[in-house]
C-alpha cells in the first residue's frame, strides 16, 4: 500500500473519475484515485477538459445498469476517451465492450493495481483487451481463513500486486497513524465510508453480487484503524462502515465477534464523533452486536437490516431466514436497549411464488415495525441468479400493482415514524451550510438514503445558526417534520469541527 498524499502530478494527463452505485463503489473510486494520482494523473470528478473519463459503473439491477450506460455515452460526447470499470464492467466485460463501442476500454477489478498504466495506454491510442468475466467466488479458497493471502485483487482493500511507490513496511508494532493508506478523497465533506470487507458468502436467490464481487474477505482491524485515522485527519467526522455483509466481519480472521470489538475502537479515533454500521444481515445480528451498536458512545444506534420480505415462505424461496415474528423481536431487542434507535430496510415485492397472503404478511410487518426508512423494489430477473429459473413468476402488471401499494404504504409509515420524533432530542451532524440553510442528519439518518434534518434558529438564545459549519455536532429539539425529514432547533454544541 502507499501513502494517499504523494506529490502533485504534472499537468497534461487529466482523468475524470465518475462513480455510480453504492458507497462501496465510492471507496473503490478513492483507491483508484490514489493509484492514478501517484501515477502522474491529475484526478477530478469533473469531465470537462479531461483526457480520459473513467466511469466506475454499477451492475446491480437493471436501472443501475441503464444509468451506467447513459453515463458512458454522455462521457463519450465530451470528446474524451472513455473507460468503463466497476461492477458492470466486471460482470459483463467483453459483452459490454461489444455493445458499447464508444468506450475505448472495459476493465475489470484485476486491472485496478495497474490502472495508471492502463489509462496511459488508452491515451496513447493503444488497443486494450476487454475484460473476460468469470465467477470471482472461484478465485478464492472455500475456507474463509485461507482467503486473505490468496493474491486476488479486492477493490477498496489496497489490493495486492505492484505498489505504486515504495513505503516502509508496516507490521503489528506500527501505530495506526503511521500505517500507509491507499486512498485519495474525491470530496471534502465531513462523512466518509470505510469498507470493512468485500464479497459475500450468502446465496440469496435474487442476487448476482457474489458472482462478480467474489467470496467474503475482511480487512484487518489495523488496516481499518489506520484508514479511519487518516480520514479523521482529512476532516471526516462520521464513518459509515460498508460491505456486502457487515455482520460477517471477522469470520475469516478467526473472530466472528470482531465487529463488536472494532466499533468502540473506531469511535475512539480522535476527531470522529459518529460511527455508523450498515448492511446488517438479520440472521447474523447477534445479541452482542446489538448491544455494541445500541450502547457504545460515539456509535449511532442505527440498524440497517436487510429484511427483503417478512413472509417465511417467500424468504425460504429467496434462500433467506426469518419471519414477521422474528424480525419484530430483533427490532424490539434493539429498542429495549436504545428506545430512540433508528431502523431501516429494503424489501422486494413480486418475487416468484409470492401470493396475496404473502403481501398481506409483509403489510402486517411494516405496519408494526416502525421503520424510519423503507426501500421498496419491484422484482425483476437478474442474469445468473437462481431466481431466474424459479416457477411461479408473478405477472408484471401484478408486480407493479404490489409495488405501488407497498411504496405508498412505506411513505405513509415513515412519515408517521418521523412524527413520533416530534419533541425529542436528536444529535445532528451538519453536512452543509448553503445560503443560510443548515442541513444535517440525526443518528437515525444515514447519508443520502434516510432523509435529513434542517436546523432552524431558536426564538431566543440557544446556538447561533450562523456560526455552524459542516462537521459540527449539535444537540437539537425536533419541532417539525416533512415526510421522513425533520426540522429541529439547535440547543447545544456537542463538538465543533476543527
3-state secondary structure 192-218: EEEECEECCCCCCCCCCHHHHHCCCEE
87 marked as part of a ligand binding site = yes
What is the Cα Rg of the chain in Å? 23
200 marked as part of a ligand binding site = yes
CA angle 13, 86, 81 (to 5 degrees): 35
- What are the backbone angles phi and psi of residue 457, rounded to the nearest 5°? -70, 140
Cell of 166: 515504495
207 marked as part of a ligand binding site = yes
CA distance 131 to 341: 44
Cell of 437: 440553510
What stretches of 80-125 show up as alpha helix (H) in DSSP? 87-92, 94-99, 115-123
CA distance 43 to 46: 9
Contact 210, 200 (CB under 8 A): yes
* Structure-derived torsion over alpha carbons of residues 268, 491, 451, 407, reported in degrees to the nearest 10: 120
Contact 444, 450 (CB under 8 A): yes
Q: Which residue has the cell 432523509?
A: 451
CA distance 321 to 311: 10
DSSP-derived pairing of the beta strands 217-218 and 197-198: antiparallel
3-state secondary structure 157-182: CCCCCCCCCCCCCCCCCCCHHHCCCC
The set of residues, in sequence order, having a beta carbon less than 8 Å from that of 319 and lying 6+ positions away, is 202, 203, 204, 205, 386
The set of residues, in sequence order, having a beta carbon less than 8 Å from that of 135 and lying 6+ positions away, is 211, 212
3 state SS of 227: helix
3 state SS of 415: helix
Feature table: binding site for [4Fe-4S] cluster: 22, 58, 87, 200, 204, 207
Annotated binding-site residues read: 22, 58, 87, 200, 204, 207
Amino acid at each position: 500500500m502507499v501513502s494517499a498524499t504523494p506529490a502533485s502530478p504534472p499537468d497534461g494527463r487529466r482523468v475524470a473519475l465518475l462513480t455510480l452505485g453504492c458507497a462501496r463503489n465510492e471507496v473503490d473510486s478513492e483507491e483508484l484515485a490514489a493509484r492514478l494520482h501517484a501515477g502522474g494523473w491529475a484526478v477530478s470528478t469533473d469531465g470537462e477538459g479531461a483526457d480520459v473519463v473513467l466511469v466506475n459503473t454499477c451492475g446491480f439491477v437493471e436501472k443501475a445498469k441503464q444509468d451506467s450506460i447513459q453515463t458512458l455515452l454522455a462521457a463519450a460526447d465530451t470528446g474524451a476517451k472513455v473507460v468503463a470499470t466497476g461492477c458492470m464492467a466486471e460482470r459483463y466485460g467483453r459483452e459490454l465492450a461489444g455493445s458499447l463501442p464508444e468506450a475505448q476500454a472495459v476493465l475489470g477489478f484485476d486491472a485496478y493495481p495497474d490502472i495508471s498504466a492502463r489509462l496511459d495506454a488508452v491515451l496513447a491510442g493503444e488497443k486494450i483487451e476487454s475484460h473476460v468475466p468469470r465467477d470471482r467466488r472461484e478465485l478464492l479458497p472455500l475456507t474463509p481463513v485461507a482467503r486473505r493471502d490468496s493474491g486476488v485483487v479486492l477493490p477498496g482493500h489496497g489490493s495486492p500486486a505492484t505498489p505504486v511507490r515504495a513505503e516502509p513496511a508496516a507490521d503489528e508494532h506500527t501505530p495506526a497513524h503511521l500505517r500507509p493508506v491507499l486512498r485519495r478523497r474525491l470530496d471534502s465533506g465531513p462523512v466518509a465510508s470505510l469498507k470493512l470487507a468485500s464479497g459475500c458468502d450468502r446465496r440469496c436467490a435474487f442476487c448476482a453480487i457474489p458472482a462478480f464481487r467474489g467470496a467474503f474477505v475482511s480487512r484487518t482491524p489495523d488496516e481499518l484503524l489506520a484508514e479511519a485515522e487518516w480520514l479523521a485527519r482529512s476532516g471526516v467526522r462520521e464513518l459509515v462502515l460498508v460491505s456486502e455483509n457487515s455482520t460477517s466481519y471477522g469470520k475469516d480472521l478467526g473472530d466472528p465477534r470482531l465487529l463488536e470489538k472494532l466499533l468502540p475502537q473506531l469511535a475512539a479515533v480522535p476527531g470522529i464523533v459518529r460511527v455508523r454500521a450498515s448492511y446488517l444481515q438479520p440472521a447474523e445480528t447477534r445479541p452482542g452486536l446489538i448491544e455494541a451498536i445500541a450502547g457504545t458512545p460515539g456509535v449511532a444506534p442505527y440498524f440497517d437490516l436487510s429484511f427483503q420480505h417478512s413472509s417465511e415462505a417467500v424468504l425460504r424461496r429467496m434462500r433467506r431466514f426469518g419471519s414477521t415474528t422474528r424480525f419484530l423481536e430483533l427490532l424490539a431487542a434493539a429498542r429495549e436497549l436504545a428506545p430512540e434507535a433508528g431502523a431501516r430496510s429494503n424489501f422486494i415485492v413480486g418475487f416468484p411464488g409470492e401470493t396475496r397472503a404473502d403481501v398481506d404478511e409483509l403489510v402486517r410487518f411494516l405496519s408494526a415495525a416502525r421503520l424510519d426508512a423503507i426501500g421498496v423494489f419491484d422484482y425483476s430477473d437478474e442474469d445468473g441468479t437462481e431466481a431466474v429459473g424459479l416457477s411461479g413468476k408473478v405477472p408484471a402488471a401484478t408486480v407493479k400493482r404490489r409495488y405501488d401499494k407497498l411504496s405508498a404504504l412505506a411513505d405513509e409509515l415513515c412519515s408517521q415514524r418521523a412524527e413520533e420524533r416530534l419533541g425529542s432530542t436528536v444529535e445532528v451532524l451538519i453536512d452543509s451550510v448553503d445560503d443560510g440553510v443548515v442541513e444535517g442528519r440525526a443518528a437515525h439518518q444515514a447519508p443520502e438514503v434516510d432523509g435529513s434534518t434542517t436546523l432552524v434558529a431558536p426564538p431566543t438564545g440557544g446556538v447561533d445558526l450562523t456560526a455552524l459549519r459542516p462537521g459540527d455536532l449539535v444537540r437539537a429539539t425536533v419541532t417539525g417534520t416533512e415526510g421522513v425529514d425533520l426540522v429541529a432547533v439547535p440547543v447545544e454544541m456537542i463538538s465543533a469541527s476543527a
